[in-house]
Structure 1
Amino acid sequence: MIIAVPKETGKLEKRVALIPETAKQLVDKNFDVWIEKDAGHASNFLDSAYEEAGAKVIADRDKLFSEADLLLSILTPPEEDLQKLKKDSVLVCFLWALQNEELVEKLQSLGVTSLGMDAIPRISRAQNMDALSSMSSIAGYKAALIGANELDRYLPMMMTAAGTIAPAKVLVLGAGVAGLQAIATAKRLGAKVEAFDIRPEVKEQVESLGGTFVEVPDVGEDTETDSGYAKELSEDKQERQRQVIHEHAQKSNIIITTALIPGRPAPLLITKEMVRDMQPGSVVVDIAAEQGGNCELTEPGESVLKHEVKIIGPLDLPSRLAYHASKLYSKNMLALLNLLIDEEGELNFDFEDEIILKTTITHHGEIISPMLKESES
């Protein structure tokens, strides 16, 4: 079996799907591992390291795609590359199938089996495969650093001969993996941290990191999906939530927004009226920019100044820590392959296994994913 890793073509993408360490583990299991030339260069994994691990460095991209049995990548390769994949080959990457109906249809028509790293279920047995959590943790950490860097104030309390400076106030919206990491990082930097989430059950996690949990009274409905994500609230509940956020936003120096709903645009949490009422010089870092953003004034991929507030909509947070992001993603990928490949070294699509069932999007020209089937019905 040829396991191939292409160089990512995304404009801001610096990660690589396999690092030399995990490539060697696959080589030791007698797989042929092909790495496109310079695939790991942007994340400081050089071709020589892959060759030392026993992988083969391939300069011919067409050859890599056309002969791959199993193709591993971060982002979905461009359509012109997908066309080169042979029938019954397997593609594993971030697919975001709910938002990419045409891509799913293309993979069906090509007869390519596809697995979405974004579709791995959030169950205890799949924790070591959960690439979304790995990347979200990096995004939350980096967002806190960006906020601190862009703010024209100290984060910690400072006692100086000229007087005492109060700590900066950071508000984190969304206490999932990214939000919790943002809370922990901002707290380590000395800020006073508040956090909001519609799921009251995360209060204990927020407080364990030293943050103060902001509660919306009388939400009065189930706020979490079976997969552990926040549910979208009814409009009147959303309005009540915005009122509470507005009150706290006015007192915050940095707001970090992290709220996402799978398969849906990011929920609106920060309105233009809230931005207008924030203190001059405040900073909003909108992690959800790629899905439209949690802030009404976010411009994805840009840093803009609105009402004297800097609003940053980064699209490449995991890539800004490409070395460790690649390392974590690679280990997530290896854990999935260890489940998918049997003792004889063959791919075994056992759809009785919840992880394989929910992660597989297409197989032999059919849609397998229960999530997609539900969305079609």
Structure 2
Amino acid sequence: MGQTIFIPREIDAIESRVGASPDTVKRLVGLGFDVIVESGAGTLSRIPDADFAAVGGKIGKAADAGKADVVLKVRRPSEAELKGYKPGAAVLATMDPYGNDAAVAAMARAGVTAFAMEFMPRITRAQVMDVLSSQANLAGYQAVIDGAAEYDRALPMMMTAAGTVPAAKVFIMGVGVAGLQAIATARRMGAIVTATDVRPAVKEQVASLGAKFLAVEDEEFKAAETAGGYAKEMSKEYQAKQAALTAEHIAKQDIVITTALIPGRPAPKLVSAAMVASMKPGSVLVDLAVERGGNVEGAVPGKVVTTANGAKIVGHLNVP
């Protein structure tokens, strides 16, 4: 008898993803597993039950979790869900353990073997399992789309016989996977793009995408450049100079996208209320770190806030 894999419907109201696709279910069935997909698990990802059934998945109900040797999820299981799992079951999901000690303890009590997919080492061999990069990539793309929609004007330069609309200025703060995709997307849409990051090593990546890198390039910055590509704590003097440059720059931007996250820590505050207040009416800030406290002062999780000066701060949840 083959081992049973269960794909549940996600219970979190903001989660529209599903832990498997017809393509992955087909491969698992081909390896000899019995795969049960809870009815409706793929609906919000636009995958009907019939698509899973067509590749050999069995359509089941939530209670079928009790038969499973392996559960494939998007988010960490809740206490209610854990009650339906058998002890010893392997659960693969993004576990988001930092600051959620009670939820982690609940998994231990339930006796499941939990694999946190976001802790997959970021090495070449494990790239196909790097959920952080794949989802950050999507978030970076979507941040530009959301920013453009709220901005409510054209991003590229529009030249007509009746006059010219200048290109929008987009500033990306934090050039990791999400930031790089945001730069590429904003450039494709015709914006004038600048970007900043505390890692000097990303300067070339920014330039290769046709954007301009913004940083105080003094001796300290040049020394940090040799530090192997990782973010290094800069001196207070440097931070003050960089903050002044950033503040002056933000006042001229149409769209600012912030992507800075440090695993296990609250998101660093990059944009102060004073910087937001300096922006033009109709300008937009998209905060991709809003669920971890946010990079922008005044960002509210799940809301688009309009400030006193007519700027908008976008704090959508679960952007991937």
The answer, yes or no, to whether TM exceeds 0.5 is yes
**Distance change in 2, residues 1:279/1:224 (3 Å):** farther
Shift of the alpha carbon at 1:229? 6.3
Shift of the alpha carbon at 1:189? 0.5
1:245 corresponds in structure 2 to 246
Once residues 205 and 84 of structure 2 are traced to their aligned partners in structure 1, the CA distance between those partners, rounded to angstroms, is 47
Once residues 301 and 210 of structure 1 are traced to their aligned partners in structure 2, the CA distance between those partners, rounded to angstroms, is 32
Shift of the alpha carbon at 1:216? 2.9
Once residues 191 and 241 of structure 2 are traced to their aligned partners in structure 1, the CA distance between those partners, rounded to angstroms, is 27
Q: Are the equivalent residues in 2 in contact too, given 1:231–1:261 (CA < 8 A)?
A: no
**Distance change in 2, residues 1:203/1:93 (3 Å):** same
Once residues 124 and 305 of structure 1 are traced to their aligned partners in structure 2, the CA distance between those partners, rounded to angstroms, is 43
2:22 corresponds in structure 1 to 20
Question: Does the residue aligned with 1:99 lie in a helix, a strand or coil?
Answer: coil
1:88 corresponds in structure 2 to 88
Once residues 120 and 290 of structure 1 are traced to their aligned partners in structure 2, the CA distance between those partners, rounded to angstroms, is 21
Q: Which runs of 5+ in 2 are unaligned?
A: none
Pick which of 37-46 and 236-245 moved more: 236-245
Q: Are the equivalent residues in 2 in contact too, given 1:72–1:91 (CA < 8 A)?
A: yes
**Distance change in 2, residues 1:234/1:53 (3 Å):** farther
Map Cα deviations across residues 181-209 of structure 1 (whole Å, 9 max, x no partner): 00000000000000001001011111111
Q: Which amino acid aligns with 1:196?
A: T
Q: Are the equivalent residues in 2 in contact too, given 1:268–1:295 (CA < 8 A)?
A: yes
1:298 corresponds in structure 2 to 299
**Identity percentage over the alignment?**
46
TM-score normalised by structure 1 residue count: 0.79
Q: Are the equivalent residues in 2 in contact too, given 1:223–1:231 (CA < 8 A)?
A: no
2:260 corresponds in structure 1 to 259
2:146 corresponds in structure 1 to 146
Shift of the alpha carbon at 1:152? 3.1
1:57 corresponds in structure 2 to 59
Pick which of 284-293 and 119-128 moved more: 119-128
Q: Which amino acid aligns with 1:289?
A: V
Query: 1:134 and 2:114 equivalent?
Result: no
Map Cα deviations across residues 142-191 of structure 1 (whole Å, 9 max, x no partner): 11011111113221111111222211100000111100000000000000
Larger relative contact order (CA 8 Å, sep ≥ 6): 1
Q: Which runs of 5+ in 1 are unaligned?
A: 319-377
Once residues 90 and 226 of structure 2 are traced to their aligned partners in structure 1, the CA distance between those partners, rounded to angstroms, is 33
Shift of the alpha carbon at 1:107? 1.8
1:1-377 alignment to 2 at 5 Å? Answer: 1-59=3-61, 61-62=62-63, 64-218=64-218, 219=220, 230=231, 237-306=238-307, 307-318=309-320
**Distance change in 2, residues 1:139/1:26 (3 Å):** same
Once residues 231 and 262 of structure 2 are traced to their aligned partners in structure 1, the CA distance between those partners, rounded to angstroms, is 7
Map Cα deviations across residues 209-261 of structure 1 (whole Å, 9 max, x no partner): 111011133455769999x7645656555444322211110110000000000
Once residues 185 and 44 of structure 1 are traced to their aligned partners in structure 2, the CA distance between those partners, rounded to angstroms, is 24
**Distance change in 2, residues 1:98/1:238 (3 Å):** farther
Once residues 299 and 255 of structure 2 are traced to their aligned partners in structure 1, the CA distance between those partners, rounded to angstroms, is 15
Once residues 46 and 205 of structure 2 are traced to their aligned partners in structure 1, the CA distance between those partners, rounded to angstroms, is 34
Once residues 69 and 171 of structure 1 are traced to their aligned partners in structure 2, the CA distance between those partners, rounded to angstroms, is 47
**Distance change in 2, residues 1:224/1:102 (3 Å):** farther
Cα RMSD between the aligned structures?
1.9
Q: Which amino acid aligns with 2:24?
A: T
Shift of the alpha carbon at 1:104? 2.0
Once residues 230 and 99 of structure 2 are traced to their aligned partners in structure 1, the CA distance between those partners, rounded to angstroms, is 17
Once residues 241 and 129 of structure 1 are traced to their aligned partners in structure 2, the CA distance between those partners, rounded to angstroms, is 36
Once residues 111 and 150 of structure 1 are traced to their aligned partners in structure 2, the CA distance between those partners, rounded to angstroms, is 46
Q: Which amino acid aligns with 2:285?
A: V
Pick which of 268-277 and 159-168 moved more: 159-168
